[in-house]
Amino acid sequence: MLGGEDNLAKAIMSGDEAVARGAYEAGAKVASAYPGTPSTEILENISLYKDDIYCTWANNEKIAVEIALGASIGGCRALAAMKHVGMNAAADPIFSAAYTGVNGGLVLVSADDPGCYSSQNEQDNRLYAPHAKLGMLEPSDSQECLDFTKAAFELSERFDLIMLLRMTTRVCHSKSLVMTGDRKEPEAKKYESNAAKYAMLPVNARRRHVAVEASLERLKEYSYSSPLNRVELNDTAVGVISSGMCYMHAREAFGERASYLKLGITYPLSDRLLREFCEKVDKIYVVEEGEPYLETAVRALGFDCLGKEYTTPQGELDAQRIRKAFGLGEKPETYSSAMAVPPRPPVLCAGCPHRGFYYAMMGYKDRLVAVGDIGCYSLGINAPYYGFDIAVCMGSGFSIPIGLAKALEAQGDGRKVFGILGDSTFFHSGFNSLVDAVHNKANVCLCVLDNSITAMTGHQQNAGTELSLMGCEVPKMDIVEMIKSTGLSGESIFIVDPIDQKAMKAAIERALEIKGTAVIVAKSPCALLKEVVKARGSLHCEIDAGKCRGCKACVKIACPAMAFEGKKARIADPASCTGCGLCMQQCKFDAIRKVV
Amino acid sequence: MTVSILLTGVGGQGTILTTKILSSALADMGYEVKMSEIHGMSQRGGTVNTQLKYGDKVYAPNIGEGEADLIAAFEKAEALRALPYLKKGGKIIMDAREIYSLPVLIGQAEYPREADLELRKVAGDISVIPASDMAEKLGSIKAQNICILGALVKALGLQEYDWEGLIASMVPQKTVDINLRAFRAGLAY
């Protein structure tokens, strides 16, 4: 089922690119996602095939899955991609759609992030497969990303199951050689009304539950002899069971002599395959990141093995961690130096409008408590702004404040609770929370840091942009009008340019005075947006060394384009300085000016 | 036999493009190539590491401590930060360019000005190449990465390849000329 008589071509691709290519070759017609590292590039690359695949950035992962589900029920092959935490947002449709099964093949991609490179947790989404009743494949490199994506569509249709393609950061963002083939569109499946299969009312759901269990049983049978799983029998003293990128690390750590069971289908697991392998080898090692998912299956069959007791559920594995965990030889010698290297944390870019918001807020620390959210503005938590205390998940920046405000009120704590999130997060789920706040007259100030793009993941379009993922002109949602539609009085809504410190501070002060819900829309586009860069030209700031008294007032905004040397402030990186003028507003000696 | 190379720099310096060009050439030469880049929050001015391995057979794409045959550092402090990854007897190619991180800019941390001297003392095989100065003289500091690529090609002994053709096809059209000159300068240094 893998490969074919295609016009083969060789290319270096990331795992994400290869999934996109796989979807294209498999004849997928619809794809949707909400951006989230490390999954974002899947849809970005699918949009390269927009003549063949209709693709969208959905407002959130639940919507992305539902769009793909609709296409599947309608008879098309469809894909939805998300980062691991996105699958939580999408869990509602996923669990019930598992019962309906598919018409056209339906593939969901979950990109997990062991090690939390860009995430708020390191949940192991393999556990979703048994819980939600999805078939699951785990690729180890880019070639497998392409092949397994194609296989997932076929298996989805053959067994009437939703297939989960489970990836991890290291698979998504590593690049390796891939043989690409041609696109082959499967025969069109007609949409036919079938409420007993697709309308999950209790009477139908009860029957469909039986059906999905039977489908999983059939996939399990198939799994035993599937080429997606591989047994590498060498010396049988040591047998290693692994999947995904962990197999590659294990292969390095245990070397050529050990035997391997490399699992491509990780739900349902073939008991027979596992048992046969375990019986052949003397000592069994299970190498996996996250939860003891494979290990539990091995132990349930009555085999003892070495696993999580050694590798722990935290972090990303690599060959060295595996060697260390299982005592497989010495760590290579390294060089070391006592010289300290200063940290280089990610920072708000030069000219970032969020800096204006957080810098203005610093003056009101004793009068407010702030809750953040997920996006570039998360960086406002760092020095020197320490912009918020709490950040949990998409949209919660507007709902946690509602409960927190009640708790503070109960304790006689008079500080006002501020919520902070961006435009894309507002569309994702923040608006729902805003409705709750207004409806319940919560005493909070909710701030939309609207920079007109989904910035953190690298500039994806959202409901507030004029263009769609496919480059089409689309109606642009107006955030201020949406806020007004909740019935909140115009006197409680403040629209400001956050770089303008006088206006920004005035808005915060007035919001602090309001008893009840206030909203601040801090509106200024991301400084890295192409059109913003173009309009700016060579505009930047200059500091007159003669006028600079070295008071450091300007340096306190913590702009990466500035430096303080020899008791003078200077623009150290004029190429990245945008001439936003935030530093200029701090200078009492008129030493800073904008130049072109 | 697998060769492991760690490229390190600061977001925006072009380490990823350099790794891309290098891996395309190695694949073209018939090697199995894998590269790994972790990006996300790091592109906002943080440290960027890309790792490249090539040989007859490569399994994992990433490089552990003490495993890099070659480190190419685009920034001085990042060369020092990457030191634990260097294999015993391995080589460091580095630009002495200093880019201050925010803790340094706001006076919360000291920049290790003598990192290059320290590395020479501790590790020994260090080539300091003024790639950013050379690129700036050629017309744009942005060509620093391709200048370092030239030095890398020389260090790996891979001169027998049509690098110029590949670079011309992979950098933005307007910058082909300056990048080719930067490459030659790095190769000759």
What tens digit of pLDDT does each residue of A183-203 get?
999 988 999 999 999 999 999
Ramachandran sector of residue A540 (left: φ over 0; alpha: ψ -120 to 50; beta: rest): beta
Q: How many domains is chain B partitioned into structurally?
A: 1
Domain that holds residue B171: 2-188
Q: How confident is the model at residue A9 (pLDDT cuts 50, 70, 90)?
A: confident
Query: Is the confidence metric ipTM above 0.95 for this complex?
Result: no
User: Are A341 and B87 in contact (CB < 8 Å)?
Assistant: no
* Minimal Cβ distance to A177: which of B27, B108, B112: B27
Give B172 to chain A, closest Cα distance, Å: 16
Q: Residue A31 pLDDT more than 90?
A: yes
Residues B86 and B119: their CA atoms lie apart, in Å, by: 11
Answer yes or no: are the C-beta atoms of B146 and B152 closer than 8 Å: no
What tens digit of pLDDT does each residue of A358-395 get?
999 999 999 999 999 999 999 999 989 999 999 999 99
With an 8 Å Cβ cutoff, is A341 touching chain B? yes
Q: What is A9-185+196-225's CATH number, 3.40.50.970, 3.40.50.2300, 3.40.50.1240, 3.40.47.10?
A: 3.40.50.970
User: Are B45 and A169 in contact (CB < 8 Å)?
Assistant: no
* Minimal Cβ distance to B32: which of A177, A349, A562: A177
Mean pLDDT score across all residues of chain A: 96
- How far is C-alpha A248 from the chain's CA centre? 24
Q: What is A230-326's CATH number, 3.65.10.10, 3.30.70.2860, 3.40.50.920, 2.60.120.920?
A: 3.40.50.920
* Minimal Cβ distance to A564: which of B42, B86, B105: B105
Phi, psi of A49 (to 5 degrees): -105, 30
Tokens of A26: 């498999």
With an 8 Å Cβ cutoff, is A412 touching chain B? no
Tokens of A39: 């999954």
User: In chain B, which residues have their Cβ closer than 8 Å to the Cβ of A117?
Assistant: 38, 40-42
SS3 assignment, position A587? coil
The DSSP call for residue A151 is H
User: In chain B, which residues have their Cβ closer than 8 Å to the Cβ of A245?
Assistant: 60
User: Are A335 and B123 in contact (CB < 8 Å)?
Assistant: yes
What tens digit of pLDDT does each residue of A35-46 get?
999 999 999 999
Residues A32 and A65: their CA atoms lie apart, in Å, by: 7
What tens digit of pLDDT does each residue of A152-188 get?
999 999 999 999 999 999 999 999 999 999 999 998 8
Return the domain boundaries, chain A: 9-185+196-225, 230-326, 353-531, 537-595
Give A454 to chain B, closest Cα distance, Å: 13
Instruction: Count Cα neighbours of A165 within 13 Å in the Cβ-side half-sphere.
Output: 39
What tens digit of pLDDT does each residue of A471-521 get?
999 999 999 999 999 999 999 999 999 999 999 999 999 999 999 999 999
**Tokens 């930060």, residue?**
B81
User: In chain A, which residues have their Cβ closer than 8 Å to the Cβ of B33?
Assistant: 12, 175-177
Q: What is the CATH number of the domain that holds B101?
A: 3.40.920.10
Q: What is the rounded average pLDDT of the residues A306-314?
A: 96
* Minimal Cβ distance to A12: which of B33, B39, B100: B33
With an 8 Å Cβ cutoff, is A61 touching chain B? no
Q: Give the residue from chain B lying closest to A458, CA to CA.
A: B40
User: Are B111 and A318 in contact (CB < 8 Å)?
Assistant: no
Query: Which residues of chain B from 120 to 179 reach within 8 Å of chain A, CB to CB?
Result: 122-123, 141
What tens digit of pLDDT does each residue of A125-155 get?
999 999 999 999 999 999 999 999 999 999 9
Please provide the CATH number assigned to the domain covering A353-531. 3.40.50.970
Same fold for the pair A9-185+196-225 and A537-595: no
Burial degree of A64 (CB within 10 A; 0-12, 13-18, 19+): buried
Q: Residue B109 pLDDT more than 60?
A: yes
Q: What is the rounded average pLDDT of the residues B34-43?
A: 72
Helix (H) or strand (E) holding B170: helix B163-170
* Minimal Cβ distance to A170: which of B36, B88, B123: B36
pLDDT given at position B46: 83
Query: Alpha carbon of B141 to those of A409, B6, B181: distances in Å?
Result: 56, 22, 13
Is domain A537-595 given the CATH code 3.40.50.410 in the classification?
no
